[in-house]
Structure 1
Amino acid sequence: MKIFKLALLTFSVAFFGCTSDYTTEGSAKPELTTQQRPSNGYTLEEVIKGMRVWDTLRNNTNQLLTLFNNANSLNVNMQLFPEGNALHAYACVLEGQLKFAVISEVYDNVSYADSLSKYIHVFDVVYSDVSNLNQAIYPAYTYSLPSQYIQATDALNRITTWNTNYRSWIGTSLPMYQLFYIPTHSLAPQNYTVYLGLKDSESQPNVKVADLVLKNSDSFYDTVLLQPPYRDRTKNYLLDLL
C-alpha cells in the first residue's frame, strides 16, 4: 500500500508539474515582431514603404507640391520618447498623405531591429492657420546655454516664410530632405506644435533651407537640422532598410 501511495504521489507531482509548465509557456506574451501592428497604427514594413515612396518623390516638384498643399504643421507628444535624447523625424508617404515617422536616436540602430515598430511614432502633417501666431504678444525669455529657445520674431519669420514661399522654394530645392534631426535637451515631456519653416542657410545666407519650429504655450524652440547632410549616418539605421 505504501509503495502504491508513493507511486501515486510521484505521478501527481509529475503530472501537475508538466501541466503548470505548459500553462506558463502557453500564456507567455509573444515578442513583438516587425509584422505586428503597433499602437500608432503602422507596421515597420508600412513605415519603410512610406519612406521609400517619399524617396522616389524627393525630385518631383509636382508631387511634392501636392503633398505640401494644406500641410504646414504636426503635433508631437514628447512624452512618447526618452527625455533628453535627439529624435529622428523621417518623412514618409502613408495612405497618400505626408507624415513623419519619429524615433528616438536611442532606438534608431540595428540592436533594436526586432522591435523597431515599438519605438516609431507616426504623426500626420496637417494645416494650421498661422495668422493668429502673428497677432499674439510674446515675452522675451532668456535661457542659459545651451538652449533651443529662439525669439518669437525669428520663429514667426521662419514659419511665415514657409507659408508664403514654400511653392517657389520647393521648385529650387531638389532633392528634398529625407529627415530632420531634432535635439530635445531644452524640451519637456509634453505636447508641442511643430511648424514647417524656412531659414537662412548658414553657408549661403541668400539661400533658404527647410526647418522645423517647435512651439508650446508662448515659447518657440529650434536648432533642428535637416538631413542630408547627416550628422552621423551610422545612427540612422532606418535608412539602411530602404
Structure 2
Amino acid sequence: MASNTPRLGLYKKDPIADANDTFNIQTMLNDNWDKIDGKVAILGPDGKILSEQLPQQSLPTASTTQAGIVKLNTSTNSTSTSEAATPSAVKEVNDALVAHSADYVKHITAAERAAWNSAEANAKAYTDSAPEAMQRNLGIFNVYKSGKDANGIFTIVEYKRANGTLFARSVLSDGTSPQYTTRTVTYYDTDGTTVLRTDTYTLTYDTDGDLISEVKQ
C-alpha cells in the first residue's frame, strides 16, 4: 500500500503490496523530485544560502535580567542598561584614566588649588607675624650682630630670612653696659621694611650682675 514520507511527503510504494502496480513516472519520480527541489535552499553567488531563505529569529532585547540581542554603543557617558560598550569606548575611558593618574595637577579643581595656595600663604604669614610664632621661629633665621660695646656686648642682633630680608631686630638700650635694662624687638613683614609689631622687655639682674629676667612691658 502506497504512503508518504513524514517530512517532505514524498510518495512511495510498498514493494510487496504494490508489486503489481504500474510504475507511474509522474507520481513516483517527477512529483517527488519537485518536492525535494522545493525544499532545497538556493545558494547565492558567494556560495551561501540567501538571507530570505533563512528562518526568522525572534530573540528578545538583552537587559540586566535577560539574555538577548545587544546593541553596541561607542558612547563613554551612556547610562543604558541594554547596550554594550565597544572596545573603542573602553579604550577611550582607559586612556583618560591613565592620563589622569599621571597628571597630579589635574587631580584638584582650580578652586581647590586656589584654596590650597591661599592656605599656604596664610600659614607663611602666620609664621612671620604671629607673636608666638615670631618668638618660636627666631632660631631658623640667619643671625647678624653689630653695635659691639667696650665690654664686648653686641647691642644689636638682626634675624634675616634666607632671601636677605629682615625678619626681626633686637636692640639693647638704657642702663649701663653690660647691664642694659631694656631690650626692644621689632618684627618686620616679608619685605623686610614694613614693621609688624614691636615688643619691649625690661631686663633685671641679680647682685652678681647676671641677667635673671626679661619682662615684657
Per the normalisation by structure 1, the TM-score is 0.22
Q: Work out which structure has the larger RCO, using CA pairs closer than 8 Å and 6 or more positions apart in sequence.
A: 1
More helix by share: 1
Per the normalisation by structure 2, the TM-score is 0.24
Largest Rg, 1 or 2: 2
More strand by share: 2
